[in-house]
């Protein structure tokens, strides 16, 4: 069973959205299930701070030993921070996807978009757990 | 192929109990990795010892008085150069001199065994039986053979206490019949990883006994096909279907050393190979490394030299040992020197790569034969 924290939002493409201390900013990464399916992550290609994305735009790619996968932006917004630690140690995505393995922090354009994402229960059902 | 048609090896239940991730591969349901993960499994084989289930591989057995002569006619290496108890890397070639399959030929005193790629079992069988000549019996024993590869610098010390065979005297590409952990088998000092190691052939009924004798805490770690692929890629060992196939001949693949034109036998493909050798191949398989971080070249990505598409990435991946993205491709013969730069289209991103000498990794523990067979 993979970890699916109750308080996060999810996409069908296996990204999660986590509220930060700043109510206008969310943290985005991939789920525990996704990292387990991808296997050992070797590169994460992330955008620059200041880049803007529409909902479901590709904001990066993740290269694992076995496969490559695109990263989709769950909500529209502007990148305010990227996880620089992933460049030195991409395996953080495998070790701690919801914590140290986060990818970007985004200032969201429309908070209502969060309601269109999957709940933990929806996501669990989506991945068949 | 639908999932219900997938075959299982005798180790299937053991893989499930170890929580392996199973994938369809060459018509079999095979473990691509265990919870350990590909990178770690790779490292274990480079530094210690791992066990791979490779029972999906095919085995043909040739017996009867003309067995050696017959196998010599359908493969390009020289069976006549083998003594009993010796094996050789070889290939089955088409009349055009291209690869039908690559294989290992084992010469026993009373028979010859050929190990072929799982995906090619039916094709090879068709090819071989259609050319049957002389007093030879051919049997497809693929379903009657369990095959485990024990690979890594600690292979010998793991295996020696389990067998009376003196492994210190069993040389690279030699094999011996005996027992391991009480199971009748034959033990070959061969492998596909660049490390010292053995391949054990035995009856499927003994799968569980053999597995538990080899795998477990303080013994070997189970290793999946993912690490098998990254290990062989670091060594530049060709993979059928990627580096070699029915459009590629041995000279192009850097495998001219397995072609014995002068062995005195008109083997399938010889006439074509004589012409190719005379002219020289127009392209050559090279190893490359990506000069940019952040992308991994995958099989099928387009390869451009001086603006022209010349080939695709044949094998590609991330090297856990070298910690960089590497791969193989075919380049025109005048552009194969190490340092030659070219471009790979990685899903729309143009990534520069440069030719490097093969193998990528030279630190392996494999004990090469003093005299290659």
pLDDT above 80 (res B370):
no
Per-residue pLDDT, averaged over B159-182, amounts to 97
Cβ contact B39–A65 (<8 Å): yes
Residue B5's pLDDT is 85
Q: How confident is the model at residue B294 (pLDDT cuts 50, 70, 90)?
A: confident
**Is the CB of residue A10 less than 8 Å from the CB of residue A22?**
no
| A39 to B33: CB separation less than 8 angstroms, yes or no | yes
Which pLDDT band holds residue B371 (cuts at 50, 70, 90)?
very low
Distance in Å, alpha carbon of B281 to nearest chain A alpha carbon: 33
- Cβ contact, residue pair A39, B296, below 8 Å: no
Nearest-CA distance B373 → chain A (Å): 35
pLDDT at B89 over 80: yes
Q: What does the domain layout of chain B look like in residue ranges?
A: 3-55+145-234, 58-141, 282-356
What's the 3-state SS for B297-346?
A: CCCCCEEEECCEEEEECCEEEEECCCCEEEEEEEEEHHHCCCCCEEEEEE
Both tokens assigned to A111: 């908070």
Residues in chain B with CB shorter than 8 Å from the CB of A58 are none
* Residue B250 scores a pLDDT above 60: yes
Query: pLDDT-derived band of residue B367, with 50, 70 and 90 as boundaries?
Result: confident
How far apart CA B120 and CA B142 sit, in angstroms, is 12
Torsion, CA B307, CA B310, CA B314, CA B318, rounded to 10: -20
Instruction: Find the CB nearest A43 among B32, B294, B317.
Output: B294
Q: Considering chain B, what percentage of its residues have pLDDT values greater than 90?
A: 96
| pLDDT tens-place string over residues B176-210 | 999 999 999 999 999 999 999 999 999 999 999 99
Averaged pLDDT for residues B81-106: 98
| Chain A residues in contact with B318 (beta carbon < 8 A) | 42-43, 63, 65
- Cβ neighbors of B152 (< 8 A, separation 6 or more) are B44, B45, B46, B47, B48, B49, B50, B193, B195, B196, B197, B220, B365
Tally C-beta pairs within 8 A across A and B.
39
At residue A1 the predicted structure's pLDDT band, cuts being 50, 70 and 90, is confident
Of A45, A65, A94, the CB nearest to B318: A65
What is the structure's pLDDT at B4? 59
pLDDT value at B259 more than 80: yes
Q: Compute the average pLDDT of residues B33-61.
A: 97
- Chain A nearest CA to B13, separation (Å): 20
For residue B154, is pLDDT > 70? Answer: yes
Cα B346 off chain centre by: 27
**Chain B touched by A69 (CB under 8 Å):** no
- Residues 6+ away with beta carbon under 8 Å from B26: B56, B117, B118, B119
pLDDT at B313 over 90: yes
- Could you tell me the fold of the domain covering A9-126? OB fold (Dihydrolipoamide Acetyltransferase, E2P) (2.40.50)
Any idea what DSSP says for residue A77? Answer: E
Examine the pLDDT at B93 and tell me if it is beyond 80: yes
B360 against A66, higher pLDDT: B360
Please give the radius of gyration of chain B, using alpha carbons only, rounded to the nearest integer.
20
User: Which of B32, B33, B296 lies nearest to residue A42, judging by beta carbons?
Assistant: B296
Residue B284 has pLDDT above 80, yes or no: yes
- A42 to chain B, closest Cα gap in Å: 8
| B2, pLDDT greater than 70 | no
Predicted local confidence at residue B86, as pLDDT: 97
- Spell out a b/e string for B192-225, using b for 16 or more CB atoms within 10 Å of the CB, else e: bbbbbbbbbbbeeebbeebbebbbeeeebbbbbb
* pLDDT at B373 (0 to 100): 41
Closest CA to B233 of B335, B134, B321: B321
- What span, in angstroms and rounded, lies between the C-alpha atoms of B150 and A102? 38
SS3 B137: strand
Q: Is A74 helix (H, G, I), strand (E, B) or coil?
A: coil
Residues A81-90: what's their mean pLDDT?
A: 96
Domain boundaries, chain A: 9-126
Q: Can you tell me the distance from the alpha carbon of B36 to that of B115, in angstroms, rounded to the nearest whole number? A: 29
- Report the pLDDT averaged over residues B337-350: 96
Superfamily assignment of B58-141 in CATH? Aminomethyltransferase beta-barrel domains (3.30.70.1400)
Q: Is A58 on the interface with B (CB under 8 A)?
A: no
Q: Is B3-55+145-234 in CATH node 3.30.1360.120?
A: yes
Between the CA of residue B87 and those of B83, B112, B114, B187, B249, what are the distances in Å?
8, 10, 9, 11, 22
**Alpha carbons B36 and B211: distance in angstroms, whole number:** 18
B1 pLDDT above the threshold of 60: no
Judge whether residue B372 has pLDDT over 60: no
User: A50 and chain B: CB distance < 8 Å anywhere?
Assistant: no
pLDDT band at A129, cuts 50/70/90? confident
Q: Stretch B7-34: mean pLDDT, rounded?
A: 97
Is the CATH number of domain B282-356 2.40.30.110? yes
Give the pLDDT confidence of A93-115 residue by residue, as tens digits.
999 999 999 999 999 999 999 99
Q: CA dist B302 to B162, B252, B351, Å?
A: 49, 19, 11
- Minimum distance, in Å, between the CA of residue B358 and any CA atom of chain A: 21
């Amino acid at each position: 069973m993979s970890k699916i924290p109750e308080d996060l939002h999810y996409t069908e493409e296996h990204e999660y959205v986590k509220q930060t201390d700043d109510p206008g900013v969310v943290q985005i990464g991939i789920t525990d299930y996704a990292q387990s399916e991808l296997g050992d992550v070797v590169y994460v290609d992330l955008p620059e701070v200041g880049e803007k994305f529409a909902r479901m735009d590709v904001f990066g790619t993740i290269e694992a030993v076995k496969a490559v996968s695109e990263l989709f932006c769950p909500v529209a917004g502007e990148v305010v921070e990227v996880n620089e630690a992933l460049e030195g140690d991409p395996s953080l995505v495998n070790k701690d996807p919801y914590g140290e393995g986060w990818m970007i922090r985004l200032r969201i354009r429309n908070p209502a978009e969060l309601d269109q994402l999957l709940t933990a229960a929806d996501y669990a059902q989506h991945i068949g757990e | 192929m639908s999932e219900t048609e997938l075959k299982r090896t005798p180790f299937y239940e053991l893989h499930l109990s170890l929580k392996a991730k199973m994938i369809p591969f060459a018509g079999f349901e095979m473990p691509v990795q265990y919870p350990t993960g590909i990178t770690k499994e790779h490292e274990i084989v480079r530094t210690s010892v791992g066990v791979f289930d490779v029972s999906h591989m095919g085995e043909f057995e040739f017996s009867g008085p003309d067995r050696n002569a017959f196998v010599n006619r359908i493969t390009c290496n020289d069976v006549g150069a083998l003594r009993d108890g010796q094996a050789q890397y070889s290939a089955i070639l088409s009349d055009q001199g291209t690869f039908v399959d690559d294989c290992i030929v084992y010469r026993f005193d009373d028979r010859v065994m050929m190990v072929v790629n799982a995906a090619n079992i039916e094709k090879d069988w068709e090819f071989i039986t259609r050319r049957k000549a002389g007093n030879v019996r051919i049997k497809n024993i693929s379903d009657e053979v369990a095959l485990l590869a024990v690979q890594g610098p600690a292979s010998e010390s793991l295996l020696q206490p389990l067998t009376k065979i003196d492994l210190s005297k069993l040389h690279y590409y030699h094999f011996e019949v005996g027992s391991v952990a009480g199971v009748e088998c034959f033990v070959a000092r061969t492998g596909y990883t660049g490390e010292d190691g053995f391949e054990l052939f035995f009856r499927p009924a003994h799968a569980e006994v053999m597995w538990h004798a080899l795998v477990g805490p303080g013994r070997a770690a189970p290793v999946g096909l993912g690490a098998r692929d990254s290990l062989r890629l670091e060594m530049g060992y060709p993979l059928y279907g990627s580096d070699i196939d029915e459009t590629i001949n041995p000279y192009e693949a850097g495998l001219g050393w397995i072609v014995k034109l002068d062995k005195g036998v008109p083997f399938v493909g010889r006439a074509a190979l004589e012409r190719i050798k005379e002219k020289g191949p127009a392209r050559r398989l090279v190893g490359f490394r990506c000069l940019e971080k952040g992308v991994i070249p995958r099989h099928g990505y387009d390869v451009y030299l001086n603006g022209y598409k010349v080939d695709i990435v044949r094998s590609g991946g991330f090297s856990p040992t070298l910690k960089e993205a590497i791969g193989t491709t075919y380049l025109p013969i005048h552009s194969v020197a190490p340092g030659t730069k070219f471009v790979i289209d990685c899903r729309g991103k143009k990534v520069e790569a440069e030719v490097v000498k093969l193998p990528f990794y030279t630190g392996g523990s494999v004990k090469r034969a003093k005299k290659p067979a």
